[in-house]
Amino acid sequence: MNGDKYIIENRSDRCVRCLVINERHPNILQYKETAYGCYSKNTFDICFDINGDAPLYSLFRVNTSPIKCPFNGPYLFSYSKGINECRDPLSEIGECTDDKRLLLKFKACADVYGSESRVEELECIAEWKESNNKYLVGKLHHSSATSHEDKFRCFVIEKNNSDPIESYNIGQSGDASCDGLFSPRDGLRTFKIRKTNRIEPKCDFPNWLVDNRHWKTLDNRQKYDFSGGKTFIVTNERGDNVERHSKCIESDDISFLYKFNASRFVLHTTLGCKSGFTCLHAYLREERIVELQMGKIVPHFAEACSVQNFNPATTRFTTLTTFDHNTRECYLKGIFSIRSKLAHYGITNHRINNSNYSRLVSFLDSRFICQEKSLRLKSNCDDQDQFQFSCSNDNRVKNLKCRGGWRENNTQWFLVSFIEKFNYEYCISLNMLTNEIKMIPNSHFCFRENHQTFDKSGTLNNQVFGFDQLSNNGVPTPVVSFNLINEGK
């Protein structure tokens, strides 16, 4: 080894050759080597036999984290595959919530052979600068890319300084290398991209959403940040990955339809690399609880709140709460015995045979072994925020606290938390006519009877009901259901 020069030997014939290796980026190595032949002298002099026009080989790190892309949408672009340029209509680079990805939306031109409508997602892997050009290596994800050789591509990027609007000329390699790519004109596929205006927010979210600024889902897996006033973002639990970015485009107060504050919005939403307009209904249930209903992402503003894309009667709710540790008086008051009911929500190919009682005990604590006849619920007795399960035969207890709730018609919803897991909240639905309680453990939404639909086989319709919180073995989390029998207050 001598600097960037390496001598390697083939043990079978004792021939040596020289490799000149350069690290362009921690994810990229490039090298040239002596021409085919047998060198017997183990000396770095043979490295001078490497010609300037020798093939340039690239090594791309496969299992690595992507990097921030050198630019982010939206852009408009024309493209060419070597002869004619497809520029009418212009293609688009859309916005992504992840700044490590770009979405390329190619459009076909009627007068350009080989142009086609397709979507490719570019994942940025490495970038470096040589002379006046910037190089980018990325992975292109599309339907016909199945191997690493299909996905990895090299790009050379040249800023167009003569254009007052941010624009670039880009050339793309034809294979998984950067060989021969000295300027954008050398690319097998070339692009001319130009910055276009972003869609700007045009309205404000109401104070009851913005004042708290930060909200979270019941299962604590997502955070909603409304501190932008006209925009909000949804991140993961740690807050280091933006999953959704929404801008308020139009708003209406629909509180007159309900007994509490409610608003309807048309949003421009970016979810991953998919962008468009969507309808949102937001409801203030109580000071620290809001619920959202969000429709499909569609390309046109006027279609967002149409019944085909948003139906409040069937669209699943997402329940959000604040980050405080405040408790509330429990609506339910008294001491109750429990009578469980066998589950009647069949799930094809994943039949769950455990009874509701077993699921209730599992929810409380898998070690909380108690016969059903010995299990009691005490609510709002010793303390107003008390929600306690106890086993009368050995005096074991499981303590929860009430965190707030609301009532609609004959149903009372309220949130509870285990004392030892206060960041997680569980939504309980109480039918005030039958004294039946239903809940979905480890979920970000509350149980609603009228949001269940079944197909002909009796399978729960996941898209409507929203059973997208799966257990470890891929089986949707079932409903826990039991009746309360009042034993005194």
Place of tokens 């970016």: 270
User: How much is the average pLDDT of 51-62?
Assistant: 89
Average pLDDT rounded to a whole number, residues 363-368: 77
Q: Is the torsion defined by CA of 346, 351, 353, 354 positive or negative?
A: negative
Dihedral through CA 389, CA 391, CA 394, CA 399, nearest 10? -10
Q: How large is the greatest C-alpha to C-alpha distance in the chain, in angstroms?
A: 98
pLDDT digits (tens, 9 = 90+) for 145-199: 989 999 999 999 999 999 999 999 999 999 999 988 999 999 999 999 999 998 9
What is the tens place of the pLDDT at every residue in 465-487? 333 333 333 445 578 888 898 88
Question: What residue type is 363 in one-letter code?
Answer: F
d(CA 272, CA 99): 10
Closest Cα to residue 172, out of 137, 132, 120?
A: 137
Task: Give 67's pLDDT tier (boundaries 50, 70, 90).
Answer: very high
Q: Which amino acid is at 258?
A: Y
Tens digit of pLDDT for each residue in 239-293? 788 999 999 999 999 998 887 899 999 999 999 989 999 999 999 999 999 999 9
- Judge whether residue 457 has pLDDT over 60: no
pLDDT at 489: 56
- C-alpha dist (Å) from residue 148 to 61, 138, 141, 143: 10, 11, 10, 13
Question: pLDDT value at position 319?
Answer: 95
Per the structure block, which two tokens stand in for 472?
Answer: 């470890």
Q: Which residue has the higher pLDDT, 350 or 119?
A: 119
Per-residue pLDDT at 418 exceeds 80: yes
CA 158/CA 176 separation, integer angstroms: 20
Share the mean pLDDT of the chain.
Answer: 86
**pLDDT band at 82; cut points 50, 70, 90:** confident
- Per-residue confidence (pLDDT) for residue 1, from 0 to 100: 66
Q: For residues 47 and 19, is the Cβ–Cβ distance under 8 A?
A: no
> Is 223 a residue whose pLDDT tops 90?
yes
Residues paired with 19 in a beta bridge: 6, 33
Q: What is the pLDDT of residue 172?
A: 96
Strand partners, 482: 340, 437
Taking the whole predicted model, whether its pTM rises above 0.75 is answered as: yes
Does residue 343 or residue 46 have the better pLDDT? Answer: 46
- Measure the CA–CA gap between 245 and 196, rounded to whole angstroms: 19
Specify the pLDDT at position 353.
35
3-state secondary structure of 210: helix
